[in-house]
Amino acid sequence: MKRTIILIAVLALALAGAAAWLGGGSQPGGKGASVPGPPKSGRFGITCYAGDSWQPLAEILPERLVLLVHGLDEPGDLWRNLAPALQDAGIPVARFDYPNDQAVTHSSTLLGSWLVRLRQGGVKQVVLVAHSMGGLVSRAYLTNPMYGYRRNLRPGRVPRVRTLVMVATPNHGSPMARFRFLAEAREQWSRLLRGDGELLGALADGDGEAAKDLLPGSELLSALNARELPRDVRFAIVAGIASPLAEKDLAQAAARWRKGLPALLRGTVGQIEKQLADVANGVGDGVVSLASTRLVGVDDHVCVQGNHISMIAGPVVAGRAPPPAVPIILDRVRRAWPDRFPDLHPKGTQP
C-alpha cells in the first residue's frame, strides 16, 4: 500500500508537467554525524572538502586529489558519504559544481578550465569520480580533441587523469531524461529547504539542454560513443541493480489514474509507465538501465544493490555501513595510487 501511494505521488508530479514537456533518496543526517553542506564560495566551480564543509580553493594544493563530478539536477548533497570517507582515508577531495542541466559540451568545457586552475595550484594527478551525467561530462572532456586534454597534458597545463570512476552513468542514455522537470523540482525544493535556494535558480542551471543529450541515440551520445577511450586512463563503472519500483505495482497505480483522467492525459500516463517499467524489476537503478551503463573497452564493471541515489548516498549515521559504491570507489583510488594509499577499505567492508 505504501509503495502504491508513492507511485501515485510520482505520477501526479509527472502529470503536472508532462503534457507540456513531452509535447515539444534517502534523507541525510543522523544522530552523532554531520552532513557536509553545499560549497560556501558559490554554486559553480571547484571547492575542497575540509573538516565537515566545502571551502574555496587554497592557493597551494596537494599534488594528488580526487575530484567529484555530479550529474543532472543535483541539489548538492550527493557526496555526503563519499567525501568524509575519502578524507578519513587521508585523500584530498574536491568537487566540481556546474550548471547542471546545461548542454554536456558546455559542462565539459567548464571542467577543462577548472582543471587548468587545479594544475596552477600544484595538482599533478587526479582521479575523477562522476555520478550519472557527470560521467558523460568527464568522458567527453577526456575524449573530444576540442577540449584539448591531451594537448594541454604534455606541457603540464592540466593534471593527469589517472582514473575515471563512473557511477550510475547512462553511457547509452536514459528514457527517463524526458522527465527531467521532476529532477529540477527536486533540486530546487531541496535547496529551498536547506536555505541556499535562489530566485530563478532553475534558470541559472541552464535551459534543460542536458535532457536532450541524455536521450538514447542523441547526437551527443552517438559522437561520444564513437570515440576511443584514452589508453593511459583507467575506467571503472559502478552500476545499480535494485530499482525502487516493481513493474506490477507500477501498472496497478497507472490503471487507477487512467480511470479518472481525460483522454489527453491517459496517453501521458502510458508514456510515463513505459519509461519507468524499462528500469524496474532489477534491470536498472530506477533511472538508468544496466545495459546503458556498460561501455565497450571497459571490463571493470561492478554491480551493487542500490538505486540511482542510494548506491552512493544515504543517511549519515555513525557506525553505519557506507553505501555500496563507496568501498568500490575507495578501492579504485587505491589502485590509482597504491604507493600512497595501500589500503582504503572502510573498516569491515570489501570492494
**For each successive 10 residues of the chain (351 residues), what is the average pLDDT?**
44 37 34 42 83 91 97 83 94 93 93 97 98 97 95 95 98 76 43 45 57 93 96 97 63 64 61 57 78 96 94 90 96 92 56 53
107-122 in b/e burial notation, b at 16+ Cβ within 10 A?
bbbbbbebbeebbebe
H/E stretch holding 134: helix 133-143
pLDDT at 319: 83
Residue 91 in 3-state DSSP?
A: coil
Is the domain 2-22+32-262+281-336 a CATH 3.40.50.1820 member? yes
Name beta bridge partners: 94. 48, 67
User: Where in the chain are the domains?
Assistant: 2-22+32-262+281-336
H/E stretch holding 236: strand 234-240
pLDDT at 253: 62
Single pTM value for the model:
0.76
Pairing label, strands 301-304, 234-240? parallel
